[in-house]
Amino acid sequence: MRADVPLGALLLVALLSAGCIGTFNHTLDEHPATVDDGHGGGPLLPPPPKPMLKPTVAPVVAPAPWVLNGTQVEMQAVAPADAKAPLSWTWGVAPLLGTAPLAQKATGLDTGSKKPDDYLSPGQSASLTFSLPGVYQMHCHPHANFMRGNVTVIDGLPGAKNFDVYIEDGATYKDFRFVPENLTVPAGSVVTYHNVGSQAHSATLLSQDPGLVPQPVTGSKGTVTLTGNGWTRVIAILHDAEGRIGQAEWPVYVAPYPEDYQKTFYQNFSAGAPAQLDAAPVSVAPGGTLSFKTDYNGTAFVNVTFLDPPSQQALPAADPANACAGEFHLREQGSQTDLLTGAQGPSPAAHGRVLTTTYNLVVVPRQGASCEAIVQLHVLYDHEPPAPLAYVDPESVPHHH
């Protein structure tokens, strides 16, 4: 079961991923794969990581926050001033990290975490092969709370397929880290993890996410097709001439629009007897108390027409003194406060805002009248996306028998 993912984290972390299979090679190096300090002696240090590029990305014309599957949006990315030409861009669309199920789960992406004897000792290295596209959240098993890094794998990405990550530690937890913490690599790449610290460590798969859908955009600007069913990101990945990389994301909610809530129903009223009426699809007995529930925020339109039962004709009747008329009151269930009120008459109507909750509609005929009422209820839902929620794998939920 995945841990809950806060909204802030969901909107800041990279996504992309699919099921993936990896392999690793575990070796003990007499000297860890490092570079000389430049003085012919002293401690060997890992090469300084290349600084990440920090591009930005946004739609040329911002669409609504909720769009339909297949919507096309023209996007534009901007490289930072320190990026060295020539530049290349890779574009894709993928679910927001942590919010979607996996087609295939990764196996083998672990340098050894089953028991302490499996950890990488100082000076030891191990290689993992990332075969299929995806995002892999890696962590150090004995230091899981503060040593984490991502490997983003993209099919068809140009460049080398061998990478090094150095595992460091020190006097405080801030010194425990993967260097670099984030990699973007082609599918089939081999990443070698080198323990250059003083303690035992591991590089172990923590979680993964569904994969990137590549987009036919080769420059910094182009049209992407939004696909998915839920929170989605457009991703622009930048490579410069010095081998540095960086990526930027733009989130959007992609899903079918909800169907409006529409009901028409009927109710009989005895003379002077008020009754509650709701959006039930069938007629209810006099005095029945029913309710309706809205699935999204929106605007409710309520129309009530009072009828003379003998003639079944809309009023006014031949004798206005005995005409059927009435009013209605829309209230949140459990409250006596009116949200909408239809003024007394033969056809009261009103509209106003409603939230995602359960409501009671109270229809009250004119005192002394015996009537039928036709109630038409239409809730036009907003197209405002819901908050991102962490996906929970059903297989990870305990079953109780």
Strand-pair category, 162-168 with 189-195: parallel
291/259: higher pLDDT: 259
What b/e sequence results for 156-188 when a residue is b if at least 16 CB atoms lie within 10 Å of its CB, and e otherwise? ebeeeeebbbbbbbeeeeeebbbbbebbbbbbe
CA 223, distance to chain mean position in Å, is 22
Is the pTM value of this prediction over 0.85?
A: no
Q: Please, what sign has the CA dihedral across residues 320, 321, 325, 327? A: positive
**Confidence at 37, pLDDT banded by 50, 70, 90:** very low
DSSP, collapsed to helix, strand or coil, labels residue 237 as strand
310, pLDDT greater than 70? no
Whether residue 192 is predicted with pLDDT greater than 90 in this model: the reply is yes
Rounded to the nearest angstrom, the gap between the alpha carbon of residue 51 and the centroid of all alpha carbons in its chain is 29
Tokens of 214: 């590549």
Burial of 206 from C-beta contacts in 10 A (0-12 / 13-18 / 19+)? middle
Residue 45: per-residue pLDDT: 56
Give the count of alpha carbons within 13 A of 244, CB side only. Answer: 18
pLDDT digits (tens, 9 = 90+) for 311-353: 444 444 444 555 678 888 899 998 889 999 998 888 999 999 9
Q: For residue 68, what pLDDT is reported?
A: 96
pLDDT band at 236 (very low <50, low <70, confident <90, very high): very high
The secondary structure element, H or E, covering residue 7 is: helix 7-10
DSSP code for 98: T
List C-alpha distances in Å: 316 to 275, 308, 321, 327, 375: 22, 9, 10, 15, 17
State mean pLDDT over 392-401.
55
Average pLDDT, the chain: 79
> What pLDDT score was predicted for residue 210?
76
User: Using CA atoms, how far apart are residues 254 and 228, in angstroms rounded to an integer?
Assistant: 6
Higher pLDDT, residue 253 or 266: 253
Domains of the chain, each with CATH number or no CATH? 7-254 (no CATH), 261-381 (2.60.120.380)
Query: Residue 14 pLDDT > 60, yes or no?
Result: no
Q: Which residue from 214, 185, 160, 146 is spatially nearest to 22, judged by alpha carbons?
A: 185
Using one digit for the tens of pLDDT, what is the confidence trace for 101-126? 777 777 889 999 989 999 999 999 99
pLDDT: is 278 or 45 the higher one? 45
